[in-house]
Amino acid sequence: MPNSPRGSHVKIELMRERRATATKIRPGTAAMSDSDMFKLPSTGKPSARRWDTHFSSESNRPPFILKQAAGYINTPGLISLGGGLPSSEYFPISEIAMHIPNISEKQHLPDSPASTAQIARIGKYDTASGTSDYDISIAFNYGQATGSPQMMRWVTEHVDLVYNPPYADWAVCLTVGSTGALEQTVRMLCDRSRNDSILTEEYTFATAMETFVPQGIKAFGVKMDEEGLLPSHMDHVLETWDEDARGARKPHLLYTVPSGQNPTGATQSLERRREIYSICQKHNILIIEDEPYYFIQMKPYTGRGTDVSENETVDDFLVLRMDSFSKVLVPGSRMGWITASKEVIQKYLCHAEVANQGPSGISQLIVWKLVDETWGHEGYIKWLIDLKMNYTRRRNALLAACEDYLPTDIVSWTPPAAGMFLWLKLDHTKHPDYRHRSLSDIEEEIFQHSIK
């Protein structure tokens, strides 16, 4: 669960002390790293449960031998002739300059951040000159599937600071965004040959369904209310599971978007999350928690002029959590990370090494320069707070427009508490032709009229 503001401040100070006393990141191409290099001590925390019985046959991959060999490239005095690494001398970009909001100057960002911008520059050989820990010569070359040590350090510290996983052997690795992470995770945990299936919300992220179907994995929806998944229905589905009738094994995975769910906009309360988690414990269900909207959580809408509030999450031994920069920084970075036990992360990495080799080095360098070297953890948290307030104002404006212009005898909605989606419910029985036309036909008519 998230730390309190005071707890976060203490942890930031501990992280600063750790950085000051820890061995400096040794710059180099394709340098290896893991979360243990950067985590705060996990004294007193238990180890995560094993996921052995849940893995698919495809997950039985050994580490990629070429990536293992890359670990020796930066050995002092060694000249490697076997890596096929392009020389950074011939990279055509020598410098990148970015105009970045100077959030340390203001409590809240202006509508036009450029008015308080600072310029951050990235050179080709900043590490050699000692002016930075990361530069173009490193980031633009091949890297490790985990992500660069520089970005891994920031993400590990961020997870430690904000989420504080309750088990000792947690780890993170970078991803190419949550869409790619979900595809790899499903391959790692589901087998077509054993007739695996997965639970989702009744209405779920369309891309998730497009991920499951080609792999031969059947998805079964759990009924929802304004807080998302209905625990009672989920328990009933699992208790009464009939493999012959369902045409699939009893699910051992739940895919859920707990905050600002796509497409319904539902947000699970802390109590609801605990109920769902309890059912997953009961039925040995692993949770794939997709949280791109976690930091865009808002106070319940009661009319114009509402403020924001904090929310909480449940993140425990059964959870593989997916985070992304897409909704809080830039979706074009195609970068995020997953948090899970070391066992799970290692399986994921063995796949990533031969699937995508990790996120773009260009994206890593630009995002790192922004959130670590320029803003730091405190600045990034300020950015998130301001972002939440701005999206709250936008949500309130949309809801006010709905109140002003939509006929409430035909259209109803639940004000979203997070995310970017407003789920409108239309009473099709009010349509003059509803007795003579199919629902899909009426939907198509409304859609076509709306886009004119």
Mean pLDDT of 276-281: 96
| Within a domain: 108 | no
Tally of domains in the chain: 1
| Within a domain: 302 | yes
Compute the radius of gyration of the chain from its Cα atoms: 24
- pLDDT > 90 in the chain, percent: 76
Instruction: State residue 301's pLDDT score.
Output: 64
286, two tokens: 């692993």
Task: Give per-residue pLDDT as tens, 18-51.
Answer: 888 776 777 788 898 999 999 988 888 999 989 9
| Within a domain: 385 | no
What is the residue-wise DSSP string for 16-49? HHHHHHSPPP---TT----GGGTPPP-TTPPPPP
Whole-number Å distance between alpha carbons of 388 and 384: 6
Task: Give per-residue pLDDT as tens, 391-429.
Answer: 999 999 999 999 999 999 999 999 999 999 999 999 999
Q: Is the pLDDT of residue 306 over 50?
A: no
Whole-number Å distance between alpha carbons of 76 and 115: 45
Is there a contact between 94 and 122 (Cβ–Cβ < 8 Å)?
Answer: no
| Within a domain: 130 | no
CATH number at residue 262: 3.40.640.10
Instruction: State residue 103's pLDDT score.
Output: 82
The pTM of the full predicted model, rounded to 2 decimals, is 0.90
| Within a domain: 132 | no
Instruction: State residue 108's pLDDT score.
Output: 54
| Within a domain: 51 | yes
Mean pLDDT of 261-281: 96
How open is the CA angle 262-266-272, to the nearest 5 degrees?
125
| Within a domain: 264 | yes
Q: Which residue has better confidence, 310 or 62?
A: 62
| Within a domain: 311 | yes
193 is in which domain, residue-wise? 1-88+144-365
Q: Which residue has better confidence, 107 or 438?
A: 438
Average pLDDT across the chain, whole number:
90
Is there a contact between 430 and 406 (Cβ–Cβ < 8 Å)?
Answer: no
Amino acid identity at 77 = G
Instruction: State residue 29's pLDDT score.
Output: 87
Question: Strand order of the sheet with strand 197-201?
Answer: 170-175, 336-341, 319-324, 286-290, 253-256, 197-201, 218-222
